[in-house]
């Protein structure tokens, strides 16, 4: 193995434990004090590795290593430095610290790549008032700074619209983008395979639904005279489950938020608000499901409003890079299998403009976004070796 296991583990634990509390959870929210401390220390480690380090107005960090020909587009790799509240060590951070270890290994071996290399640590992947994958969407030019919701929230983070424009990158200067990430699922662990080769990242569509009934006394209103908004919502929930099962894997649908008004034990629910989230690698199936849900709502009640509030279309990773990752696994004698990602990633946004590949390593028990999030160090080392070989091959 070419990488330095001890160095990778030490650096990952040092940065990863910034924001850790007594329960073991890690909270390093975008733009927070903990994020800024981690960004400062990461920048030091990147400079120690000989990288030219820059930070943009969104607090995304770049470290550049010269190639034999610096007029060529760079190979970019990395992930996000922020976490969810009370999250785990590995989500996002793995892609950054494995990338730093790749740089250090190349230094150890005295290898200069033909193309320049660029390690990136994105900010605000996990979501803020501006939505998830914020920095990577800005960098890719996918967010217009004149949107009204941004105007409302940017000042909360001491940001201005011009900061977004200044953070955009000319992605013609990037040859390829790679992200090593934990799977956040149980497929690889279940099959005892250490490497997942991501072929696509699912699209995410969300609908906000408002169901209007009639609030009334729960003890004096006969069952036959009720307009119970929650009963209507229950029918919808079951129908969404049926639609998802009929469309088949990898399609998934979830109703994870439900607000009942007025929300008292002795009052029949007069209003219910909920959000339906659907994900798939095929936008056509997502659109079909949305149509079926809307049709069903129109059948069961006229007192329902539905609005699509999120529509992030799926992306395919670059077939050429998928093949390179496959060959890297075979060359290193490491088992790998093709897999899709049901979660969103910075790679999804960059892939809209740049040939992109993703490498997954197993998540123990599929745990993520929680203190119990865990991946074995041995799988981390194997994933980093595959990342290194892929970068050299590209």
Secondary structure (DSSP) of 108-145: HHT---SS-EEEEEES--S--TT-SSHHHHHHTT-S-T
- Is the pLDDT reported for residue 144 higher than 90? no
Record: fold of 203-312? Alpha-Beta Plaits (3.30.70)
- Is the pLDDT reported for residue 149 higher than 90? no
pTM of the predicted structure, to 2 decimals: 0.89
Report the chain's mean pLDDT, rounded to a whole number: 95
- Is the pLDDT reported for residue 151 higher than 80? no
Instruction: Kindly state the average pLDDT of the residues 303-309.
Output: 91
**What pLDDT does residue 352 have?**
94
- Six token digits for residue 167: 């953070």
**What pLDDT does residue 116 have?**
98
Confirm if 42 and 49 have CB atoms less than 8 A apart.
no
Residues above pLDDT 90, as percent of the chain: 90
**What pLDDT does residue 8 have?**
98
pLDDT band at 236 (very low <50, low <70, confident <90, very high): very high
* Distance, C-alpha 359 to centroid of its chain: 13
In the block, tokens 């395979």 appear at 193
Give the residue from 381, 379, 332, 360 showing the smallest Cα distance to 5: 381
DSSP state of 62: E
Instruction: Kindly state the average pLDDT of the residues 368-390.
Output: 97
pLDDT band at 139 (very low <50, low <70, confident <90, very high): very high
pLDDT digits (tens, 9 = 90+) for 323-348: 999 999 999 999 999 999 998 899 99
Instruction: Kindly state the average pLDDT of the residues 344-373.
Output: 96
Residues above pLDDT 70, as percent of the chain: 99
pLDDT digits (tens, 9 = 90+) for 294-305: 999 999 888 899
Give the residue from 241, 317, 318 showing the smallest Cα distance to 281: 317
**What pLDDT does residue 147 have?**
73
Is 91 part of any known ligand binding site?
yes
**What pLDDT does residue 45 have?**
98
DSSP state of 106: H
CA distance 6 to 372: 22
- Is the pLDDT reported for residue 215 higher than 90? yes
**What pLDDT does residue 187 have?**
96
Instruction: Kindly state the average pLDDT of the residues 201-219.
Output: 95
Instruction: Kindly state the average pLDDT of the residues 141-162.
Output: 84
Give the residue from 183, 184, 203, 202 showing the smallest Cα distance to 194: 183
Beta 52-55 vs 74-80: how paired, if at all? unpaired
Which residues are registered as beta bridge partners of 316? 200
User: Alpha helices, DSSP H only, in 113-228?
Assistant: 134-139, 148-153, 161-167, 187-191
pLDDT band at 237 (very low <50, low <70, confident <90, very high): very high
SS3 for 312-364, per residue?
ECCEECCHHHHHHHHHHHHHHCCCEEEEEECCCCHHHHHCCCCCEEEEEECCH
Please state the φ and ψ torsions of residue 277, each to the nearest 5 degrees.
-115, 130
* Among the ranges given (2-11, 90-99, 147-156, 248-257), the one the predictor scored with the smallest mean pLDDT: 147-156
**Residues 6+ away with beta carbon under 8 Å from 6:** none
SS3 for 250-290, per residue?
CCEEEEEEEEEECCCCCECCCEEEEEEEEEECCHHHHHHHH
The residue extents of the domains of the chain are 5-202+314-393, 203-312
Instruction: Kindly state the average pLDDT of the residues 365-373.
Output: 95
Confirm if 64 and 102 have CB atoms less than 8 A apart.
no
Instruction: Kindly state the average pLDDT of the residues 176-187.
Output: 97
Instruction: Kindly state the average pLDDT of the residues 304-333.
Output: 95
pLDDT band at 148 (very low <50, low <70, confident <90, very high): low
**What pLDDT does residue 191 have?**
97
**What pLDDT does residue 302 have?**
84
Give the residue from 179, 175, 172, 237 showing the smallest Cα distance to 211: 237
CA distance 63 to 294: 47
**What pLDDT does residue 321 have?**
98
CA distance 71 to 116: 9
Is 181 part of any known ligand binding site?
yes
Confirm if 257 and 274 have CB atoms less than 8 A apart.
yes
**What pLDDT does residue 278 have?**
96
pLDDT band at 166 (very low <50, low <70, confident <90, very high): very high
**What pLDDT does residue 146 have?**
77
In the block, tokens 């930070």 appear at 55
Which residues are registered as beta bridge partners of 211? 272, 304
Instruction: Kindly state the average pLDDT of the residues 231-245.
Output: 97
In the block, tokens 């800024």 appear at 36
Is 80 part of any known ligand binding site?
yes
Q: What is the CA radius of gyration of the chain?
A: 23
Beta 252-261 vs 304-312: how paired, if at all? unpaired
CA distance 288 to 253: 13
**What pLDDT does residue 150 have?**
77
Superfamily of domain 5-202+314-393: Zn peptidases (3.40.630.10)
């Amino acid at each position: 193995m070419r990488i330095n296991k001890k160095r990778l583990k030490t650096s990952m634990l040092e940065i990863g434990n910034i924001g850790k509390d007594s329960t073991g959870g890690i909270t390093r929210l975008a733009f927070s004090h903990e994020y800024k401390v981690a960004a400062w220390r990461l920048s030091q480690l990147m400079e120690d590795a000989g990288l030219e380090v820059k930070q943009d107005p969104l607090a995304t960090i770049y470290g550049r290593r010269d190639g034999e020909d610096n007029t060529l587009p760079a190979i970019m790799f990395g992930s996000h430095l922020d976490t969810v509240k009370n999250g785990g060590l590995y989500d996002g951070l793995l892609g950054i610290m494995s990338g730093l270890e790749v740089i250090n290994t190349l230094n150890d071996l005295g290898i200069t790549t033909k193309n320049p290399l660029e390690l990136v640590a994105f900010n605000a992947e996990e979501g803020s008032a501006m939505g998830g994958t914020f920095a990577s969407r800005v960098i890719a030019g996918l967010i217009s700074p004149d949107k009204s919701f941004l105007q409302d929230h940017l000042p909360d983070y001491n940001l201005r619209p011009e900061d977004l424009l200044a953070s955009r990158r000319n992605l013609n200067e990037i040859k390829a983008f790679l992200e090593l990430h934990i799977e956040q699922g149980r497929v690889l662990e279940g099959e005892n395979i250490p490497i997942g080769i991501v072929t696509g990242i699912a699209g995410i569509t969300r609908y906000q639904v408002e169901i209007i009934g009639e609030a009334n006394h729960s003890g004096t209103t006969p069952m036959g005279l009720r307009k119970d908004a929650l009963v209507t919502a229950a029918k919808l929930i079951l129908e969404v489950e049926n639609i998802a099962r009929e469309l088949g894997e990898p399609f998934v649908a979830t109703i994870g938020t439900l607000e009942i008004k007025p929300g008292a034990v002795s009052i029949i629910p007069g209003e219910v608000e909920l959000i339906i989230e659907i994900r798939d690698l095929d936008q056509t199936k997502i659109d079909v499901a949305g149509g079926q849900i809307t049709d069903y709502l129109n059948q069961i009640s006229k007192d329902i409003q539905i609005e699509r509030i999120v529509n992030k279309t799926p992306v395919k990773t670059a077939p050429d890079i998928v093949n390179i990752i496959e060959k890297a696994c075979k060359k290193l004698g490491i088992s790998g299998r093709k897999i899709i990602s049901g979660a969103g990633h910075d790679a999804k946004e960059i892939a809209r403009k740049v040939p992109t590949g993703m490498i997954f390593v197993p998540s123990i028990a599929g745990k993520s976004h929680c203190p119990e999030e865990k991946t074995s160090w041995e799988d981390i080392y194997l994933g980093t070796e595959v990342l290194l070989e892929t970068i050299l091959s590209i």
